[in-house]
Amino acid sequence: MERFYQNLLQTQRGRAECLQEAQDFLKTLTIGDIRDEWLTRGRFAQVERVSKASAFFLKRLKHKADEFMPFSAPFYWAAFICIGDPRPMKWNVEDPPKSPLERGTFRDGTI
């Protein structure tokens, strides 16, 4: 999802296109791409504090070849779908719209 939001907020591409790119990115991500950041002892310890199962999964990946694509199966990316308007967002990516809390009012004018 991080890749989707990077695409959405930093490009002028449509939402469906941003999601498709993020899914393609995840499908083709290799062990070599993540080894230095995610497959280290420090990261294992950090993840283990939150989820022992996730840490175990990462530890198993450490022994895979650099070309291995651990997230290529639909299990990892197919649940994310675009619902609603697939077109690009209508705001300037440098100045996104303010939330109702930042504006001080909601659509119906209430505070």
pLDDT digits (tens, 9 = 90+) for 90-111: 765 566 656 555 655 545 555 5
Asked if 51 contacts 28 with a C-beta cutoff of 8 angstroms, the reply is no
pLDDT digits (tens, 9 = 90+) for 30-81: 999 999 999 999 999 999 999 999 999 999 999 999 999 999 999 999 999 9
In our burial notation (b when 16+ CB lie closer than 10 A, e otherwise), range 71-109 reads: beeeeebeeeeeeeeeebbeeeeeeeeeeeeeeeeeeee
Q: Which amino acid appears at position 74 of this protein?
A: P
Question: What's CA 90's distance to the chain center, in Å?
Answer: 21
6-39: pLDDT as tens digits? 888 888 899 999 999 999 999 999 999 999 999 9
Paired tokens of 40: 């280290």
The per-residue pLDDT for 87 is 86
pLDDT of residue 90: 73
Residue corresponding to tokens 């895979």: 64
pLDDT at res. 91: 61
What's the pTM value of the predicted model, to 2 decimals?
0.71
Q: Give the per-residue pLDDT at 2.
A: 87
